[in-house]
Amino acid sequence: MGYPKFIVRVRCMQMSRRPFRRVPAHNTKRKIHYAVLKKCGQRYRLTFLAGNTALKVGNSTAISPKNLPGNDCTLEAWITFWLREVVKRDLAETTLYAYRNIVRCHILPALGRVRLSELTPLKIQNYLYEKMNQGLSPNTVIKHYVLLNTALRMAVRLELLERAPTERVQPPKRKEIHIDFYSPEQLQRLFSAVENTILELPVKLAAYLGLRRSEICGLRWESVNLKDGVLLIREARTEAGGVVILKSTKTRNSNRRLGISGLADLQRVLQRAWEQRRSDDPKEWVVLRPDGTPPKPDGLTQNLLRVVRKNDLPKISLHGLRHSFASVANSQGVPMFDISRTLGHSSMAVTSNIYTHLFDETESHVLSAVAKALEQT
């Protein structure tokens, strides 16, 4: 007797508990979508942040009851299923690529043959310790923990486990990331070094506007209005495993409208690129190589590193120039809210967490100014 087809229901509910994908701790009440699957009289509920993903999962014939691992499956069998049927449908291609690398290079060699029922907190804790001893950074090991925790919590929802062993595992403490950024003087030296080269436009888009590398590579002429001095950020081109991927911007707030009317230098470089474009197609990329093809994102990074070394400048990436924008803006007294909006962060909390050292310095200046004013009264 064959398996019956999935019976699917998708519903939206206001829930206070955290969904299977990590969300900000302060945002606990939000709409969550479920695909409720029935197999041989048993109900399985998959949780998604996007309703269209839940519908896709429920209506897709790709998820077959025959492929659903049993209670005695190994971690390898479960994670393979989870990556294919859940992660691939609901996360970006770049995230899937990163997850697959972690699974293939680290998790499967160490824990792949362990059955889910025999996967204890001690085994996972020892795995994390082993990765630390191998020289992986605490922040990288935390990513391994998050992946395992997310995958195993889904196994609990599908009743393959009674409890996720990761709940009783202590991940390492997150290490503060050192952020590289340039001073205004160093930026001027870099501008001189890249003048009239392929790097001039991407470097100035990052330094003047704080754009991400993917946003620079994803900028098309249809999103540039030189007459009104406006850029629309609404698309991204990134790279995973040597393959260029076109996708939406990182977050909803990353879709933004940036004014460039007061940036004469950037307008000049954009105007020159406009006059040198190969066609009138509004979908043509703004940043192009001399042969008229768009550069690979990783290629831009390598070119920048070569220029930096040649000109005896501190090592920096295009993302470091984005940090430089935030540093200069902060030093000029721009409010954190405006910096966050310009950078396209999902919230001011993200901006504050990334640039803690910058805003700590600002706070010191504010307190000193207040103290000075009070002392004079």
**DSSP secondary structure string for all residues of 141-185:** HHHHHHHHHHHHHHHHHTTS-SS-GGGG--PPPPPPPPPP---HH
pLDDT in tens, 50-72: 444 444 444 444 445 557 788 78
Q: Are residues 190 and 73 in the same domain?
A: no
Q: Are residues 167 and 210 in the same domain?
A: no
Residue from 185, 251, 255, 243 nearest 219 by CA: 255
Global pTM reads 0.70
**Token reading at 162:** 């009674």
Q: Which residue has the higher pLDDT, 231 or 55?
A: 231
Say whether 236 sits in a helix, a strand or coil.
strand
| CATH code, 78 | 1.10.150.130
Residue at which a domain ends, from 124, 149, 175: 175
Question: Is 377 part of any domain?
Answer: no
Residue at which a domain ends, from 23, 50, 65: 65
**Residue appearing with tokens 């260029």:** 244
Residue 40 has pLDDT above 60, yes or no: no
DSSP 8-state code for residue 303: H
pLDDT of residue 3: 29
pLDDT in tens, 131-155: 999 999 999 999 999 999 999 999 9
Range of the domain at 351: 184-367
- Assess contact for 284 and 278: CB atoms under 8 A: yes
Question: Is 375 part of any domain?
Answer: no
- Report the number of distinct structural domains present in the chain: 3
- Residue 342 CA neighbour count, 13 Å, CB half: 23
Beta-sheet pairing, 224-225 with 256-259: unpaired
pLDDT of residue 374: 64
Q: Are residues 203 and 351 in the same domain?
A: yes
Q: Are residues 204 and 98 in the same domain?
A: no
Question: Is 344 part of any domain?
Answer: yes
For the chain, the first-to-last Cα distance in angstroms comes to 89
Average pLDDT, integer, range 4-21: 33
Residue 27 has pLDDT above 80, yes or no: no
pLDDT in tens, 173-203: 988 777 889 999 999 999 999 999 999 999 9
The pair phi, psi for residue 236, each rounded to 5°, is -140, 145
pLDDT in tens, 66-115: 577 887 899 999 999 999 888 887 778 888 899 999 999 999 999 999 99
Residue from 56, 66, 65, 115 nearest 88 by CA: 56
From residue 209, give the alpha-carbon distance in Å to each of 197, 251, 272: 19, 17, 18
- Assess contact for 346 and 253: CB atoms under 8 A: yes
| CATH code, 206 | 1.10.443.10
% of residues, the chain, pLDDT over 90: 56
